[in-house]
Amino acid sequence: MAKEYIIIAALLIVALVAGFVAAEDVVQLNNDTTTVSDTNASSDTNASSDTNATGEASDVLNGTASAWKIGWQRAKIALTFNQEKKAMEELKLADLRLIQARIAAKNGNEKAMANALEAHDRIIEKVQARVAKMDGAKDEAGIKASAEKLTGLARAIEVHQQRIEILKQKLASANLTEDQKARLENKIAKVENNTQKLVQLQESKKENLKNRLTAMTNKTDEEINKIIGIEKIKEQKGKK
């Protein structure tokens, strides 16, 4: 019975936190005179619409950026205690901020886009700090498990970089002055730089795992690369 009460209490906390942070986002967006829904949907000639029937912003990579979704994601982060899983959840939140920025760009709202990009960078800095602490276990099985998690992170970062490219394309056609675009391009350049730092950190962590595994086994370099997943990442990059 006590366990059931704990579960119910946890669910109530999640709901309360999600509602609170969602309200924060609504206030912030209203202050910026925009919402996450796309007010120019009727003029969009893209195959993928930026709005759906519920008013949520729909991303071409199958994402939404409603205030409630952002609030729910932040609540999930707060209740995730495994640091590796927490980093992945934070990266999902960073994705939502990029979607917010894209919708703001289409609506011609410089301030809202800048706010979303700044929020994105704060999240990525947190992800970097968590990844920096990922040292992995000291035996072969533990190292392999850590490598698999880093490979999953690499895939998530790759999708994240695709979202950044979509944002750049949207900014180029946004109803903004050249000065506004220039300021926002500088912010996007910072977003790209921070994301690239995360890529380099992930690759460095994988290389460290490879070195540790090399020192403790008699496996060939090819066998170790396969275990760590380095060759798989190289193949994925080669297909781009």
pTM (2 d.p.): 0.72
- For each of the chain's 240 residues, which pLDDT tens digit applies? 555 544 444 444 544 444 444 444 443 443 333 334 443 333 333 333 333 323 333 434 445 678 889 999 999 999 999 888 999 999 999 999 999 999 999 899 999 999 999 999 999 999 999 999 887 667 888 888 888 888 999 999 999 999 999 999 999 999 999 999 999 999 999 999 999 999 999 999 989 888 888 888 888 888 888 888 765 444 444 555
> In 10 A of CB 216, how many CB atoms?
12
Tell me the DSSP string of 73-93.
Answer: HHHHHHT--SHHHHHHHHHHH
Tell me which DSSP letter residue 41 carries.
Answer: G
